[in-house]
Amino acid sequence: GAVVSQHPSWVICKSGTSVKIECRSLDFQATTMFWYRQFPKQSLMLMATSNEGSKATYEQGVEKDKFLINHASLTLSTLTVTSAHPEDSSFYICSARGRTSAAAEQYFGPGTRLTVT
Amino acid sequence: AQSVAQPEDQVNVAEGNPLTVKCTYSVSGNPYLFWYVQYPNRGLQFLLKYITGDNLVKGSYGFEAEFNKSQTSFHLKKPSALVSDSALYFCAVRDGSGAGSYQLTFGKGTKLSVIP
């Protein structure tokens, strides 16, 4: 079946530094990737949608200069949290959809736990 | 606009008893409905989906869900709960009637606790 991986699974960084999270589709070509953020005991909130080779579309209230998304290939999207602050600490989850995905099917990565100290 | 409501923050059920996790939705076009399960510090695992066809959808791990158009509901059910079913369950919807970005809208989640 379709597998999506994320790296790293968890990361701790100091306030003011930047951290990059990778999302890879391992056995299919992901034409669209989604980035979600999840706070403890809360639902997933869509941050942005990216299509391969084009700029990401950010949801209202998400700072595109702070959360840089790059979808440079059909198997890789990256989310870079720039100048991270403690309030950016969260669980970040990506999902991917391919050309041949069953109707509306998205495949989710295992998530990345970011802690900013 | 589309939205999902999961009215229960938590559902407790005894092992072996049937379980139901409720979900209602709102979407302007044709609803594509999904259930996902999340274990602590893990991503989402797909359980089942309704796109079209039979209103009763069977999915992974013995779960099923019934699409009810008149009540705009898509409740998740299992005849006999297992302790290992304890997790966080999310209902999601997408408007399947037209072209779009395939964005899913999630409910807030329901924590299921199965008591031995």
Q: To the nearest whole percent, how much of chain A has pLDDT over 90?
A: 67
CB pairs under 8 A between A and B: 56
Question: Which position has the higher pLDDT, A62 or A101?
Answer: A62
pLDDT of residue B74: 98
* Alpha-carbon distance values, A84 to A16, A87, B11, B72, B114 (Å): 5, 8, 36, 41, 38
Q: What is the mean pLDDT of chain B?
A: 92
pLDDT of residue B70: 95
Q: Which residues contact B40 (CB under 8 A, 6 or more apart)?
A: none
Contact A111, A95 (CB under 8 A): no
List, for residues A73-88, the tens digit of each pLDDT value: 889 999 999 999 999 9
Choice among A38-52, A89-103, B40-54 with the minimum mean pLDDT: A89-103
Q: What is the mean pLDDT of residues A20-43?
A: 90
The tokens for A47 are 């941050």
List, for residues A35-74, the tens digit of each pLDDT value: 999 988 788 899 999 988 888 999 999 999 999 999 888 8
Question: Which position has the higher pLDDT, A116 or A43?
Answer: A116
Round to whole Å and give the CA distance between A42 and A100.
Answer: 31
Choice among A6-10, A39-43, B104-108 with the minimum mean pLDDT: A39-43
Mutate to test the interface with A, among B39, B104, B108, B110 (most CBs of A within 10 A): B104
> Scanning every residue of chain A, which has its alpha carbon at the shortest distance from the alpha carbon of B9?
A41
List, for residues B3-37, the tens digit of each pLDDT value: 999 999 999 999 999 999 999 999 988 899 999 99
Beta-carbon separation of B103 and A43 below 8 A:
no
Beta-carbon separation of A104 and B45 below 8 A:
no
Contact A60, A73 (CB under 8 A): no
CB contacts, 8 Å: A97 with chain B: 102
